[in-house]
Chains A and B, each alone.
Chain A
Amino acid sequence: MTDRKDQLDYLKVRAAMGRMSRREFFGRTAALGLTAGMANMLLADAVQAAGPQNGGTIKVGVNGSGSADSLDPALSANQGQTLVTRMWGEPLLELAVGNTIEPVLAESYSSSPDAKVWTFKIRSGVTFSNGKTMTADDVLATMERHSGDETKSGALGIMRGIASMKVEGDSFIIELEQPNADLPYLMTDYHLLIQPNGGNDDPTAAVGTGPYVLKSAEPGVRFVFEKNESYWRDGGNAGTIELIVINDDTARVAALQSGQVDIINRVPPRTASLVDRAPNITVHKASGPGHYVFIAHRDTDPFSDNDVMLALKWGMNRQEMVDKILFGYGSVGNDTPINASYPLFTEMPQREYDPEKAAHHWKKSGRTDPVLLRTSDNSFPSAPDAAALFQQSLAQAGIPLEVKREPNDGYWSEVWNKQPFCTSYWSGRPVQDQMYSTAYLSTADWNDTRFKNEKFDQLLIAARAELDEAKRKQMYADMGMILHNEGGLICPMFNDFLDASTDRVAGWGESAGFGLMNYYAPIKMWVAA
């Protein structure tokens, strides 16, 4: 018995080091009485245990990138752009597993007791890929480029609360207009990558402090990166990383199956379980803050009547949505935008599908006209199907729902945040304060449910200044309850991030934030054989 184990260990090491082919490994382990499935698991373990290997090329098939994309991190708006900028640029701080903060270009940070003044100590001895040394002045220039009235930066919403910024020695100091205990989380935003002189000279130069340098860029087609040999810390395993844009779902999965790429993002939930069945492919599932929503304007009839809202909420079959729209790759929502992926999350009683309660509230509202819901395919994948399911579950409670399908074109400008009831999508934010401030504060630009609640607003502002975590947690729990009972948000489901990789690469691990290991997968993974 020990003999067999020794032999297996020997084979595992040889295969992991790449001295033995996969096929040979399978043959030899089969001779020892192992099935292919067991051998595959063994091999994966061994490869993971062998640790990162340097060199080689990792190819990534990316969905969500177009030929119209800019290289300027301020304009990052899709997964392709975020992935590209991650390679060459770095933020001050980054999200880490367990919703903690990892210092990157800021060595450390601290705040004044009222959470109004924040000091970031900038790391010394870090150089940009153009050879220039990174200083606190570069940080200041970057942050200034992302703020101010002239900017087009996607991070403007974050920067707006800043009263002043300055540099003192090697420290970068932010003074806020209002206290904000979450500022470190906001600094992890993917737009806020430090560029030499803030990128003012050439925002699209792709010069930063990251582990890779951009070698060739054809937006919407292909990006090639090579290892930055003078990177300031360990990181980045592959010698070359190639991002190939494959927006078509079937083509992306086929490219992975035929071995033309090693990693892909956005595996379609519909086929994910079939893809995972292939022996050399693993589908990676990670829960995140993204959620599919049905949003109603609370200031517009009939949604101004809370009985109508409650009727719709009780009439939503959340589990059915997760099963049929997400194919099980997700979790049920509870009519708040917050789930366990947020740092200060508190569980609330789950609202289940209850046609009787829905009918009771509908009767109480005294209405008979059908409710009009607008939807389109790009509001979230399979949104029209979800609308049809909602229509049926409401029909069982005797509530008439009329579904109107809108064109994809112009949905975000003509329907979302304009029409009183529609389907939509939120990708979520790293912290509750940011999510609530973006869409649920009475004065928020994107208050897409026209939710105006004085108590909620007061709690939100007070929580920002509260540095006692337990008290803060309670405040967020109270806000969650208000939204759950009175909000215009019907949130049936949170979608998982679904990515996949072949066993040519290894090193997939847990992460916080977005899919593809918060977009760090190509950097953190390595070529296994």
Chain B
Amino acid sequence: MGPALKLVAQRLALGVLLLFLVSILIFVGTLILPGDVAQSILGQSATPEALANLREELGLNEPALTRYFDWLGGVLTGDLGTALTNGMDIAEALGTRLGNTLFLAFWAAVISVPLAIFLGLLAVRYRDRWPDKLISAVTLSTISIPEFLIGYVLMYFVGVKLGWAPTVSTIYDSMSLGEKLNAIALPVAVLTLVVLAHMMRMTRAAILNVMQSAYVETAELKGLTMFKIIWRHAFPNSIAPVVNVVMLNLAYLVVGVVVVEVVFTYPGMGQYLVDHVSKRDLPVVQACGLIFAAVYIGLNMLADIISILSNPRLRHPK
């Protein structure tokens, strides 16, 4: 396992370096946003005195470089600072929001990943026959429709007309797990529909690719059933590409759900970020950006590591 461990360590180091570069990018990006924080907080009703007072209090008069290193130092010690707008501790507020986002992402993943892989296997089994075509047609159409539209359509028919699920997904601590799951039923459905096609198509393609190989033909000639061939021989050999696309979609479930969160008023990171961007609350925007980047880099790294470990050739390089 020596060389594999080295590879993993390399990946980790690269990830940390990447995160550091991203932190610079985020900081610079937030600096060039148009408008002024104090003005955005006070809105149209700001008086010049109130603006000057607020600017002074927020430390906006300090040079940017000083602010960057203050911020980086804080982040490294786990202190994300306080929100400019409402003075709340960011780490605390973000903790709840991140928890909520992960909760939604977790349940969406629990449903969509096995479903996508199963549908992928099914499509391979009935390749070019009607089940394959039906699965492709349905999943491709749901991925092609913008997610907010799927959200509204489900909201109208399932929520308002049929009354099966709540249209507002606000969740809070005093809810039981059952109540929470009921509340997030619609967003989970939307997310599942959105990520399904990508993973399903990749599973199908990767397995079909393997199915061309000689050893599958051998297995077939041995008299194994189709499903057994797929499950025992084809699937293990196509794990690497599948894991990659699964991880990409998991990352999407965490960092890309902004629209779904806003539509269903789900109290996750996305909505928190949107609220604070519009108010120019830079520390919060930076913290969110960093966490999103960390999740994205982390999951991609995980995908790399899994594909390394699942591939004997990478595990034991010559």
Secondary structure at chain B's binding surface: helix, strand, loop or mixed?
Answer: helix
Distance to closest chain B CB from A144 (angstroms): 15
B-facing residues in A132-156 (Cβ within 8 Å): 149-154, 156
- Candidates B35, B166, B281; contact of A409 at CB < 8 Å: B35
> Is A412 positioned at the interface, with any CB of B under 8 Å from its CB?
yes
CB-CB under 8 A from A61, the residues of chain B are 168
A509 to B167, CA, bound (A): 28
A61 to B265, CA, bound (A): 11
Distance to closest chain B CB from A251 (angstroms): 6
Say whether B50 contacts A156, CB under 8 Å: yes
A260 to B278, CA, bound (A): 27
Say whether A250 contacts B152, CB under 8 Å: yes
A-facing residues in B264-291 (Cβ within 8 Å): 264-265, 267, 271-272, 275-276, 278-279, 281, 284
Say whether A149 contacts B272, CB under 8 Å: no
Say whether A245 contacts B265, CB under 8 Å: yes
Given A220-B271, A221-B267, A409-B34, A261 contacting B168 (CB threshold 8 A): yes
- Candidates B39, B47, B87, B163; contact of A445 at CB < 8 Å: B47
Q: Which residue of A lies closest to B165 (CB)?
A: A258
A-facing residues in B45-68 (Cβ within 8 Å): 45, 47-50, 53-54, 57
A416 to B45, CA, bound (A): 12
CB-CB under 8 A from A152, the residues of chain B are 42, 50, 53-54, 57
Say whether B172 contacts A222, CB under 8 Å: yes
A153 to B43, CA, bound (A): 12
A70 to B41, CA, bound (A): 10
> Is B93 positioned at the interface, with any CB of A under 8 Å from its CB?
yes
Per-position binary interface string of chain A over residues 241-276, scored 1 when its CB falls under 8 Å from any chain B CB and 0 otherwise? 000111110110011011011000000000000000
- Candidates B50, B85, B156; contact of A254 at CB < 8 Å: B156
> Is A370 positioned at the interface, with any CB of B under 8 Å from its CB?
no
Say whether B53 contacts A412, CB under 8 Å: no
Per-position binary interface string of chain A over residues 374-411, scored 1 when its CB falls under 8 Å from any chain B CB and 0 otherwise? 00000000000000000000000000000000010110
Interface residues on B, range: 35 or more
A413 to B36, CA, bound (A): 7
A216 to B152, CA, bound (A): 29
Say whether A260 contacts B166, CB under 8 Å: yes
A407 to B34, CA, bound (A): 9
CB-CB under 8 A from A354, the residues of chain B are none
> Is B170 positioned at the interface, with any CB of A under 8 Å from its CB?
yes
Distance to closest chain A CB from B229 (angstroms): 47
> Is A69 positioned at the interface, with any CB of B under 8 Å from its CB?
yes
> Is B193 positioned at the interface, with any CB of A under 8 Å from its CB?
no
Interface residues on A, range: 35 or more
A204 to B166, CA, bound (A): 32
Per-position binary interface string of chain A over residues 50-77, scored 1 when its CB falls under 8 Å from any chain B CB and 0 otherwise? 0000000000010000111111000101
Distance to closest chain A CB from B38 (angstroms): 9
CB-CB under 8 A from B159, the residues of chain A are 254, 258
CB-CB under 8 A from B152, the residues of chain A are 250
> Is B263 positioned at the interface, with any CB of A under 8 Å from its CB?
yes
A72 to B272, CA, bound (A): 20
> Is B160 positioned at the interface, with any CB of A under 8 Å from its CB?
yes
Say whether A412 contacts B39, CB under 8 Å: yes
Say whether A413 contacts B35, CB under 8 Å: yes
Distance to closest chain B CB from A424 (angstroms): 8
Chain B CB within 10 A, most for which of A157, A219, A248, A410? A248
Say whether A149 contacts B49, CB under 8 Å: yes
Residues of A within 8 A of B (CB): 61, 66-71, 75, 77-78, 149-154, 156-157, 204, 216, 218-222, 244-248, 250-251, 254-255, 257-258, 260-261, 407, 409-410, 412-414, 416, 425, 445
Listed from nearest, the 10 A-B pairs whose CB atoms lie closest are: A410-B35, A68-B85, A410-B34, A66-B275, A413-B39, A70-B86, A221-B267, A254-B167, A68-B279, A67-B275
**21 pairs of residues in contact across A and B, judged by CB atoms under 8 Å:** A61-B168, A66-B275, A67-B97, A68-B275, A77-B41, A151-B50, A156-B49, A220-B275, A221-B172, A222-B267, A245-B170, A251-B167, A251-B264, A254-B160, A258-B159, A261-B168, A409-B278, A412-B35, A413-B34, A413-B39, A416-B44
Other CB < 8 Å A-B pairs besides A152-B50, A251-B155, 11 of them? A66-B275, A68-B85, A154-B45, A218-B172, A219-B86, A222-B170, A245-B170, A246-B265, A248-B263, A251-B264, A413-B34
